Structure 1
Amino acid sequence: MKLIKKVSSLLVILTVGVGVFVGCGNKSSEKSAIDIIKERGTIKVGVFSDKPPFGYVDANGENQGYDVFIAKKLAKDLLGDESKVEFVLVEAASRVEFLQSNKVDLILANFTVTPERREVVDFANPYMKVALGIVSQDGTKVTSIDQLKGQKVIVNKGTTADAYFTKNYPDIELVKFDHNTEAFEALKDNRGAALAHDNTLLFAWARENAGYTVGISSLGEEDTIAPAVKKGNEELLQWVNAEIKSLGQNGTIREAYNETLLPAYGDTVKIEDVIIE
C-alpha cells in the first residue's frame, strides 16, 4: 500500500514537472506582435479611402493623406522602408472589427478617442485635436443646434457625430451613410439641412466646395485622434506610443501637417489647433 502511494506521488510530481516544462517551452516559443510583423515584412494599417486630406485614394490609385503619411513613417522606423506598409481600407463603423479580427495591426483612420471605444480597443498617444462641426449651405446656414429641430442631419455610421446626436439630441432625425462621399453628396442633394462630422474634415471640405460654410465650428468637447491597436496588444501599443512621441519631437508630425493638411486648410486653420507634437 505504501509502495502504491509512493509510486502515485512520484507520478504526480513527474506530471506537474512535465507540465511546467512544456508550459515554459510554449511561453518562450510564442512570437511577439512585433516579431510577427517583422517576419511578415509589412505592417497592416487600416486607413480611410474617402476622407481627404486624412486618408484617401488618389486618381492613380495611391493612398494619400495625413494618416497615410504617418503610417509610412511608422513602417520606415519599424521595418526600414516606407513601402513596407500594407494599407487596408476601412469604414468608420468597421474599424474596431478589423482590429479584433486581426485584419489590421493598427488603425490610423482619424479615430477619435472616446470612453466607449477605449473599452474595445487600446489607443496610443494622440497626434491630433478634433471636435464636431456642422456644415450647411450658405443660403440656409446653420449656426445653432436650435435650427436643426424638425430637420434632418447627415452623419456617418459609427462616428462620434452619430453617437453625439443620438445621445444628446434624439429628437433630431439622422440620415446615416457608410461612406463619406455618400454623406457629402446627400448634403449637396438637400437630403439634410446640415452635415455633422469632424471639424478638421469640414474645414477642408468647405474650402473646396463653394457655397458651404462651417457654421458651427466646435460642438461638444474637444477630443483627440490617436492610433489604435487590438485590445491587449501591449507590445505594439508601447512601440507606437514611443514612436508617436518621437515623431512629434523630431518634427515629423509638423512635416505631415505641412505636406497634407496645410494645402487643404490654407490660412483658415492654425496648426496648433490641429496637431499634437
Structure 2
Amino acid sequence: MKLRKVTAASAAVLALALSATACGGDDSKDSDSAATAGGGGKIKVGIKYDQPGLGLKEPDGSFSGFDVDVATYLAKELGYEPGQIEFVETKSADRENALARGDVKFIAATYSITDERKQKVDFAGPYLLAHQDLLVKTDSDITKGTDLNGKKLCSVTGSTSAQNVRDTIAPKAQLKEYGGYSECIAALQSGAVDAVTTDDSILAGFAAQDKYKGQFKLAGLKLSNENYGVGVKKGDTETLNKINTALEKMVSDKSWQKAVEANFGPANYQNEPAPTIGNIVK
C-alpha cells in the first residue's frame, strides 16, 4: 500500500513537470516573436517581391536578387540554412510596422537609412550605397542631367525621383508617371520615354534582365546618396550586432562582391565599394 502511494506521488510530480514544460514553451532562438514560423526553426525575413536584381519572386516561387543573397547570407550567420528561411513581402509603406509587429526578424529591401526611420527601427549596415540615376538606351545622347530638358522622363506615381530631377537640373523635362518601374522600362524600350529615374541599383536590376540585356545603360549621375540598411525591431540589439558582424564577414570573404556582380553585372553597374558599418554617406 505504501509503495502505491509513492508511485502515485511520483506520477503527480511527473505530470506537473510535463505540464510546466508544455506551458513554458521553447526558449530557443527566435521563439520570442512571429518571426519564427510555428516554432519549427524557421526565420521570417522581409524582402521586396517586385524588384529584379534586388528582391524578386520568380514564377516558380523561388527568389532572386542582391537583397535576397544578402538576407540568405545573414540568416545563415544567425544559424539558419536556406530551407529554413521564409521570405515575406514587405512593401515600403509597411516595413516599420512589420518589424514592430514581429512579422519578420529583419528586413533587407532597398531600405534606405534615414533619421526619420531610425526613430522607429534600428538599422544594421549600411550594406550598399546607391544613388539616384537615369537609365537610358545604349545609343542615347543623354549624358548629363541638363540633357533631359525637352525629353520625356519616367518614374512611378508618387515617387519624388523624377520631380527632384525636374526641380533641380532639368526644369523643362516632361514628366511621365506610371504605376510601376516595369511599365517605365517597357516605355523606355518602346521609345515612349527617353529616360527612367530611381535608385541606380533598382535600374541596374531591371536592365540586367535577360529580355533587356544590352539595351540600356546607366548615365552615372549620382543625384543622391541612398544608404541601404538592414532593418531590425527597435531595441533588438542582439540581432543588430550579429547582423553587423555578418555583414563585415560577407565583405571580407568576397561574398558581397560576388553578389553584386551576379545581380547587377549585366547592366555594367559601377557600384560603390562596400560601405563601412555605421558610416552613413549624406
Both structures adopt the same fold (TM-score exceeding 0.5):
yes
1:126: how far off? 1.6
1:33, 1:235 within 8 Å by CA — same for their partners in 2?
Answer: no
- Unaligned stretches of 5+ residues in structure 1: 1-28
Secondary structure of the 2:142 match is coil
Instruction: Provide the rounded CA distance (Å) in 2 between the counterparts of 1:177 and 1:90.
Output: 21
After superposition, residues 94-133 of structure 1 pair within 5 angstroms as 94-133=94-133
Equivalent residue, structure 2, for 1:196: 197
Aligned to 2:9: none
Q: 1:17-53, CA deviations, whole angstroms, 9 ceiling, x for partnerless residues?
A: xxxxxxxxxxxx9x89844256462222121223222
Q: How far 1:134 sits from its partner (Å)?
A: 0.4
Residue number in structure 1 paired with 2:244: 241
Q: Partners in 2 of 1:119 and 1:158 — Cα distance?
A: 23
1:83 aligned partner, one-letter code = G
The answer for the alignment partner of 1:11 in structure 2 is none
The two structures have a TM-score, normalised by structure 1, of 0.69
TM-score, length-normalised on structure 2?
0.68
Structure 2, unaligned runs of 5 or more: 1-24, 277-282
CA shift for structure 1 position 135 = 1.3
Matched, 1:256 2:255: no
Q: How do 1:3-42 residues align onto structure 2 when only pairs under 5 Å count?
A: 34-36=30-32, 37=35, 39=39, 41-42=41-42
In structure 2, relative to structure 1, the CA distance for the partners of 1:270 and 1:182 (3 Å cut) is closer
The CA deviation string for residues 39-72 of structure 1, in whole angstroms up to 9 with x for no partner, is 4622221212232222212342201122112222
Q: Which residue in 2 is equivalent to 1:213?
A: 217
Q: CA deviation at 1:209?
A: 4.1
Q: Structure 2: which amino acid aligns with 1:187? A: L
Segment drifting more, 51-60 vs 175-184: 175-184
Distance 2:29 2:247 in 1: 18
Cα separation, partners in 2 of 1:269 and 1:259, compared to 1, 3 Å: closer
* Deviation (angstroms), 1:86: 0.9
User: Which of 216, 222, 230 matches 2:233?
Assistant: 230
Are 2:79 and 1:76 equivalent residues in the alignment? no
Structure 1 104/257 Cα, relative in aligned 2: closer, same or farther at 3 Å? same
One-letter amino acid of the structure 1 residue matched with residue 122 of structure 2: D
2:45 is the counterpart of 1:45:
yes
Tell me the CA shift for residue 165 of structure 1: 4.6
C-alpha distance in 1 between matches for 2:61 and 2:96: 25
Matches of 2:70 and 2:132 in 1, distance apart?
23
- Other-structure match for 2:181: 180
Q: How many residues align?
A: 243
Write out per-residue CA displacement over residues 89-115 of structure 1, whole angstroms, 9 at most, x where no aligned residue.
233444344334443222111223233
Q: Distance in 2 between matches of 1:250 and 1:163?
A: 40
CA RMSD after TM alignment: 3.6
Task: Select between 249-258 and 223-232 the one with higher mean Cα deviation.
Answer: 249-258
Alpha-carbon offset, residue 124 of structure 1: 0.7
Q: Percent identity?
A: 24
Partner of 1:275: 274
Distance of 1:163 and 1:119 partners within structure 2: 26
Does structure 2 retain, via aligned residues, the 8 Å contact 1:33–1:233?
no
How many Å separate the matches in 1 of 2:179 and 2:273? 25
The alignment partner of 1:127 has SS state of strand
Alpha-carbon distance change, 181 to 269 in structure 1, aligned in 2, over 3 angstroms: closer
